[in-house]
Amino acid sequence: MSTEEKTNENGLEPNEPEAPQRKKKEMTKIRDPNGLNDHLKVTFDDIIAEPDTHSRSIEQVWNVSNKTFEIISTWCYRVLSLVFALPCAILWATLFALVSFISIWFFQPLVQTFHLLFVCVFQGYEKLISGLLGPIGSAMGRCFENVRLFQITTTTVKPNEPLEIV
The pLDDT assigned to 66 comes to 92
The pLDDT assigned to 54 comes to 78
- pLDDT band, residue 38 (cuts 50/70/90): confident
What is the average pLDDT value for the chain, to the nearest integer? 82
* Domain carrying residue 100: 18-104
Model confidence over 74-92: pLDDT tens digits? 999 999 999 999 999 999 9
pTM: 0.48
The full DSSP string for 50-90 is --SSS----HHHHHHHHHHHHHHHHHHHHHHHHHHHHHHHH
Is residue 153 one of the residues assigned to a domain?
no
Is residue 12 one of the residues assigned to a domain?
no
Q: Is 164 helix (H, G, I), strand (E, B) or coil?
A: coil
Measured CA distances, 99 to 45, 92, 107, 151 (Å): 41, 10, 10, 56
Q: Angle at CA 75, nearest 5°, toward 72 and 78?
A: 150
Count of domains forming the chain: 1
